[in-house]
Amino acid sequence: MAVIRIPVVNEPRQNPIRYFDETGQLHELPLLRLRADILIGTDPARSAEDRRPQFPAILDTGAPLSVFPKRVWQRFEPAITRLRVADERPLAGSAGGRRFTYFLGRVSVAVTDLFGRRLRAVPVLAQFREDDIPEGEPRAAVPLGLGDGILEGRALTRWPTVERYDPDISTLESHGQWWWLADP
Amino acid sequence: MPEQIDPRPADAVPSESHRNGDAEPPGTVATGLTREQLPPFVSPTDILLVSPLHREVIAELRWAYEQCERGAFNAYLGQYLAIVNRTVEAVGDPGCARDEAANKTGVPPERVALFYVGGE
């Protein structure tokens, strides 16, 4: 069993949304996301020689699959095994109101946390986007989805906590929740 | 078997129990977590650790997460930041930003920490 922690981050908003609760108290609407930092490629024989590139990602259990934008996967294309679809047709998906074509593939992904723990690399089935995002538009994130991905065979645990801060970074708010991802 | 080395990043903050003065049991590695901070089915000593290179990258990321929570990155919504020595060296596409930061600072590209500023 190996374990890492998954940090919850309150992402910034250009225009923060504030609201009054039932008692008239003012609150700011949170924009919480589970963040994960990943290493691409199979685990090297010795940790000391590990020079895999790190990429930021978002753990998204609402996403059916993991998705890599073109500008991300182009950096590790040789590590991707392209998969053939059974019926020959172009594959298309959408994210954030934007449609894109993609190819299916598999790549090994390891996850790290902010203390320096890691989980072993596992093969992840993913959509590899083929669209170019125009200059000036927000870059796409890397969602790590529910199917055939880094959660496969692992336990994702959410614990409510009254501790104000994250155990790994004493200034990072816990937002009332601590998350772990563990190998069986 | 997990590597038996001290994984504690140079600027690691002790966990709550360490701050309270509780010593770790002898023979365990410094995981940064106490029994109380873990689900019951996880042992606090059974961990895998990142490489020395990735410890340096993670130190940059710790800084980036803090800055993000403080709102310091609000101007970079939807962008990838390339960070070296707690400095945002390049902004934009992940690949280009990483290469640009590596060229500017003279570190290998894999030593550059990439951080995504989500939000909306």
pLDDT tens profile A68-77: 999 999 999 9
- Give the model's pLDDT for residue A59: 97
What residues in B contact A54, CB-CB < 8 Å? 54, 57, 61, 110, 113-114
- Give the model's pLDDT for residue B31: 67
The whole-chain average pLDDT of chain B stands at 76
Query: In the predicted model, what is the mean pLDDT of residues A155-168?
Result: 88
Share of chain B above pLDDT 70, in %: 68
Fold of A3-8+32-182: Cathepsin D, subunit A; domain 1 (2.40.70)
By Cβ distance, the residue of B8, B47, B93 closest to A3 is B47
Task: Kindly provide the b/e burial profile for residues B58-96, where b requires at least 16 CB atoms within 10 angstroms of the residue's own CB.
Answer: bbbbbbbbbbbbeeebbebbbbbbbbbeeebbbbbbbbe
**From CA A180, how far away is CA A158, in angstroms rounded?**
7
Residue A70 sits at the chain B interface (C-beta within 8 Å) = no
By Cβ distance, the residue of A11, A51, A114 closest to B58 is A114
Contacts of residue A18, Cβ cutoff 8 Å, sequence gap at least 6: A26, A27, A28, A29
CB atoms B48 and A118 under 8 Å: yes
Share of chain A above pLDDT 70, in %: 99
By Cβ distance, the residue of A139, A171, A180 closest to B66 is A171
For chain B, the C-alpha Rg in angstroms (whole number) is 17
Residue A54 sits at the chain B interface (C-beta within 8 Å) = yes
Q: Count contacts between A and B (CB, < 8 Å).
A: 174
Pick from A43-47, A71-75, B27-31, B94-98 the range whose average pLDDT is largest: A71-75
- Give the model's pLDDT for residue A11: 87
Starting at the edge strand that comes first in sequence, how are the strands of the sheet with B113-116 ordered? Answer: B87-92, B80-84, B113-116
The minimum CA-CA distance between A148 and chain B, rounded to whole Å, is 22
Binned at pLDDT 50, 70 and 90, residue B117 comes out as: very high
**From CA B14, how far away is CA B20, in angstroms rounded?**
9
Is the Cβ–Cβ distance between A5 and A174 less than 8 Å?
A: no
Closest-CA residue to A10 (of A32, A27, A37) = A32
Residue B90 sits at the chain A interface (C-beta within 8 Å) = no
Closest-CA residue to A47 (of A121, A131, A113) = A121
The minimum CA-CA distance between A40 and chain B, rounded to whole Å, is 11
The counts of H helices and E strands in chain A are 1, 14
At A101-150, the pLDDT tens digits run 999 999 999 999 999 999 999 999 999 999 998 888 888 889 999 999 99
Backbone angles phi, psi at A156, to 5 degrees: -105, 120
User: How many residues make up chain B in this entry?
Assistant: 120
At B18-62, the pLDDT tens digits run 333 334 333 334 566 677 777 677 776 778 889 999 999 999 999
CB atoms B49 and A53 under 8 Å: no
CB atoms B54 and A39 under 8 Å: yes
CB atoms A155 and B93 under 8 Å: no
Task: Provide the CB-side half-sphere exposure for B66 (13 A, CA).
Answer: 14
Burial of A89 (0-12, 13-18, 19+ CB in 10 A): exposed
User: How many residues make up chain A in this entry?
Assistant: 184
CB atoms A11 and B68 under 8 Å: yes
DSSP assignment of B89-106 equals EEEESHHHHHHHHHHHHT
The minimum CA-CA distance between B21 and chain A, rounded to whole Å, is 15
* Sequence ranges of the domains in chain B: 10-49, 52-116
Contacts of residue A134, Cβ cutoff 8 Å, sequence gap at least 6: none
The minimum CA-CA distance between B29 and chain A, rounded to whole Å, is 12
Q: What is the pTM of this model?
A: 0.86
Query: In the predicted model, what is the mean pLDDT of residues A152-181?
Result: 89
Query: In the predicted model, what is the mean pLDDT of residues A30-55?
Result: 92
Binned at pLDDT 50, 70 and 90, residue B95 comes out as: confident
Residue A139 sits at the chain B interface (C-beta within 8 Å) = yes
Query: In the predicted model, what is the mean pLDDT of residues A25-33?
Result: 92
- Give the model's pLDDT for residue B18: 33
The minimum CA-CA distance between B69 and chain A, rounded to whole Å, is 6
User: What does each C-alpha distance from B98 to A173, B14, B53, B103 come to in angstroms?
Assistant: 28, 31, 15, 9
